[in-house]
Amino acid sequence: MAGAGDPRRVAMVSVHTSPLEQPGTGDAGGLNVYVAETARELAARGVEVDVFTRRTSGDVPVTVELVPGVTVRHVTAGPYEGLSKNDLPGQLCAFSAGTMHAGLAVPEDHYDVVHSHYWLSGQVGWLVADRWRVALVHTMHTMARVKNRLLAEGDTPEPRGREIGEAQVVEAADRLVANTDDEARDLVELYGADPAAVSVVPPGVDLTTFRPGDRTAARRAVGVPDDDELLLFVGRIQPLKAPDVLLRAAHEIVRRDPSRGARLRVAVLGGPSGSGLDRPTELVDLARGLGIADLVHFVPPVGRAELAQWYRAADLVVVPSRSESFGLVAVEALACGTPVVAADVGGLPTAVGDAGVLVRGHDPAVWARSLDDLLADDTRRETLSRNAIEHASRFGWGATTDRLLSVYRDAMARYAAGLRGGPSALADAGTGSRP
């Protein structure tokens, strides 16, 4: 149950993607999982949660109960369909108005804190928290200035308007939640955040669903022969996630030893997203162009139980992202006991720990060597598998939510006292209103 000083009710804002959506395609991904899982955990502790998200279909009810204590509230802002994430800044006024209108149906002190996710939601959270006179906690999830530093060749940079919007949210928020120490540094160094206002709260993993299991049974369930070498990519298909690096590395492995083509398999689970929507067949075309189309299997996004089977079936899970605030896929795979080979960027070193291999850069030849060396070393993979289970056990959603509650308590107390930004704000005590 909620403890002393804990919020009674939390309003979460997730404008561009709903916790009800299937992760792995469109704009649905780790953020969806984060919102859904932390909301569930908060409800289990007796904290009621309302999640405000944009309505994308006339068939979706205005309110949906995710679990007892968690209500997803669909706000009409613009046409239901046909809007990309890049179109949504023009709908923030409508979304804010719809959210505040929904708030008219409850008492003025109904919510104790607003927690916004992603910069679009932060713009809305800034307004509604000020209207409801409560503290604003914000989680970026990704940041434009970080993504633009690590842009894939030919990918579209994040617009200047997003950078400005993110800086505004950093200034407005009472507390900022970073997934890792690296992300906290980026908030301070790239956006001028007050270090005392930033709290590091690693995301979690569903340790009930994602757990070790029988590899043979898992392979039978997903249709993979026992003697195949399976490399698995899970995520949205877009340049930022760099699935092309895996395909090029697989091609390099087979080029060096053509006999490997009889056993090597690559599975890509996910759908086009972001700038990948402009070229939805690009990865399929790449596999054909490389001459490895018969080795690569494209699988649409699947539910969590089936996803766990794919993780267990894989020899290695490959996360070659160019930017990653944390790397939820990596931790899910580790929880299933599968070693991970990941890019040495962003939050992936934290997510992977000593349970995988980190690769510098995105040279396919370097990735091919790392993957091939690990596939050939059964003993090392077994050691990494043991490390994986131990490492992932530290990332349960319960631990994440405990830390979030601490952030909420601190934000609420300081807002009530008219303070912002931690100890350095003591000299700036005022009315508690935002700039």
- The whole-number mean pLDDT for each consecutive block of 10 residues of the chain, a chain of 435 residues, reads 80 91 68 93 97 90 95 92 83 93 81 96 95 95 89 81 95 95 95 96 94 97 96 92 96 96 95 62 94 95 94 98 90 97 94 94 97 97 97 94 96 85 40 42
- For residue 209, tell me if it sits in a domain: no
27 is in an annotated binding site: yes
319, two tokens:
């996360």
d(CA 66, CA 306): 21
Beta-bridge partners for 160? none
How, if at all, do strands 63-67 and 70-75 pair? antiparallel
User: Taking Cα atoms as reference points, which of 234, 235, 293, 237 lies closest to residue 265?
Assistant: 293
124 plus 180 within the same structural domain: yes
What integer pLDDT is reported at residue 426 of this predicted model?
Answer: 34
95 plus 233 within the same structural domain: no
233 plus 349 within the same structural domain: yes
- For residue 234, tell me if it sits in a domain: yes
- For residue 4, tell me if it sits in a domain: no
30 is in an annotated binding site: yes
32 is in an annotated binding site: yes
DSSP string, 341-409: EEES-TTHHHHHTTSEEEE-S--HHHHHHHHHHHHT-HHHHHHHHHHHHHHHGGGBHHHHHHHHHHHHH
Q: What is the pTM of this model?
A: 0.86
63 plus 190 within the same structural domain: yes
298 plus 411 within the same structural domain: no
Domain that holds residue 365: 215-393
What integer pLDDT is reported at residue 5 of this predicted model?
Answer: 82
22 is in an annotated binding site: yes
What integer pLDDT is reported at residue 54 of this predicted model?
Answer: 93
What integer pLDDT is reported at residue 384 of this predicted model?
Answer: 97
125 plus 160 within the same structural domain: yes
Query: 46-69 pLDDT, tens per residue?
Result: 999 999 999 988 888 999 999 999
302 is in an annotated binding site: yes
What integer pLDDT is reported at residue 58 of this predicted model?
Answer: 84
384 plus 404 within the same structural domain: no
103, two tokens:
């708030």
d(CA 288, CA 73): 44
241 plus 295 within the same structural domain: yes
Contacts of 58 (CB under 8 A, 6+ apart): 80
189 plus 250 within the same structural domain: no
311 is in an annotated binding site: yes
85 is in an annotated binding site: yes
CB burial class (10 A; 0-12, 13-18, 19+) of residue 433?
A: exposed
241 is in an annotated binding site: yes
In total, how many domains does the chain have?
2
What integer pLDDT is reported at residue 115 of this predicted model?
Answer: 98
Contacts of 291 (CB under 8 A, 6+ apart): 251
Q: Residue by residue, what is the 3-state secondary structure of 134-176?
A: CEEEEECCCCHHHHHHCCCCCCCCCCHHHHHHHHHHHHHCCEE
164 plus 241 within the same structural domain: no
For residues 322 and 300, the answer to whether their CB atoms sit within 8 Å is no
d(CA 415, CA 123): 18
For residues 266 and 247, the answer to whether their CB atoms sit within 8 Å is yes
For residues 246 and 368, the answer to whether their CB atoms sit within 8 Å is no
241 plus 354 within the same structural domain: yes
- For residue 3, tell me if it sits in a domain: no
What integer pLDDT is reported at residue 102 of this predicted model?
Answer: 83
Helix (H/G/I), strand (E/B), else coil: 48:
strand
28 is in an annotated binding site: yes
Question: What CATH number is associated with residue 234?
Answer: 3.40.50.2000
For residues 236 and 31, the answer to whether their CB atoms sit within 8 Å is no
- For residue 430, tell me if it sits in a domain: no
- For residue 425, tell me if it sits in a domain: no
312 is in an annotated binding site: yes
- For residue 163, tell me if it sits in a domain: yes
What integer pLDDT is reported at residue 27 of this predicted model?
Answer: 65
162 is in an annotated binding site: yes
- For residue 428, tell me if it sits in a domain: no
408 plus 385 within the same structural domain: no
How, if at all, do strands 316-319 and 296-299 pair? unpaired
Tokens 């807002």 sit on residue:
415
